[in-house]
Amino acid sequence: MTDSDTPNALTPEQERTAIEDTQKWLLEAVVGLNLCPFAKAVVVKDMVRYRVCASAEPADLLAMLREELQHLTEADPDKLDTTLLIAPNALPDFLDFNDFLEDCDEVLMDLELDGVLQVADFHPHYQFGGTEVDDIENFTNRTPYPTLHLLREASLDKAVEAYPDASLIFERNIEVLNKLGHEGWAKLGIASRLHN
């Protein structure tokens, strides 16, 4: 068995595939359906960093999160606004992933970055509380792979100020997805090509 056969390794081609699948989700769903009206500008300006954690171990993902939070903090905000940390092998169970988010918050606190950066979360099996597994509103946060989205609070605050009725974005997204339906979502072709 080679390293690329283990759940803790990916070939360079597999890493590229994970990034391409995530970019497709970002372009087709987030920007294409306008699920996040703030995303288009950073995508168009190429201010998104894509990183892949090959390991299946949550501790390794947490270590990489720490590195990426520090990298984002040190980077020029005019060149790098946000990071998507993609974890194709880690935390396939949504409840485990959801529990893991507490550890992410602890890392933010430990690095004294609470209020400077935030970590948003996306998962292939994302499920909001009080919903059924296949309810369409869950798809607002469904990605091909477990993904941590590192955001600058200042950028988010600026975007919210510039966007009228930012509090209505989630409701609008549910309307968009209800019109699109499961069949329409499937036609977007947003899926993992590593875990078929």
> For position 1, what pLDDT does the model report?
37
> How far is it, in rounded angstroms, from Cα 166 to Cα 160?
6
Q: What is the mean pLDDT of residues 80-89?
A: 98
pLDDT over threshold 50, residue 5? no
The per-residue pLDDT of the chain, averaged, comes to 93
Give me the residues paired with residue 122 across strands.
Answer: 147
pLDDT over threshold 50, residue 180? yes
Q: What is the mean pLDDT of residues 4-25?
A: 88
Give one DSSP letter per residue of the chain, joined into a string: --GGGSTT---HHHHHHHHHHHHHHIIIIIITTTSSTTHHHHHHTT-EEEEE---S-HHHHHHHHHHHHHHHHHS-TTT--EEEEE-TTS--SHHHHHHHHHHHHHHHHHTT-BTTEEEEEE-TT---TT--TT-GGGGGG--SS-EEEEEEHHHHHHHHHHSTTGGGHHHHHHHHHHHHHHHHHHHHT---SS--
Nearest alpha carbon to residue 49 among 65, 63, 60, 32:
65
pLDDT over threshold 50, residue 3? no
> For position 2, what pLDDT does the model report?
40
pLDDT over threshold 80, residue 166? no
pLDDT over threshold 50, residue 78? yes
Question: How far from 183 is each of 36, 132, 154, 165, CA to CA, in Å?
Answer: 21, 17, 37, 29
Q: For the chain, give every domain's residue range.
A: 3-155+163-188
Q: What is the mean pLDDT of residues 153-171?
A: 84
Q: What percent of the chain has pLDDT over 90?
A: 85
> For position 161, what pLDDT does the model report?
83
> How far is it, in rounded angstroms, from Cα 35 to Cα 60?
30
Q: What is the mean pLDDT of residues 154-168?
A: 83
Give one DSSP letter per residue of 14-30, joined into a string: HHHHHHHHHHHHIIIII
Give me the residues paired with residue 52 across strands.
Answer: 86
Can you give the C-alpha Rg of the chain in angstroms? Answer: 16
> For position 188, what pLDDT does the model report?
95
pLDDT digits (tens, 9 = 90+) for 104-134: 999 999 999 999 999 999 999 999 999 999 9
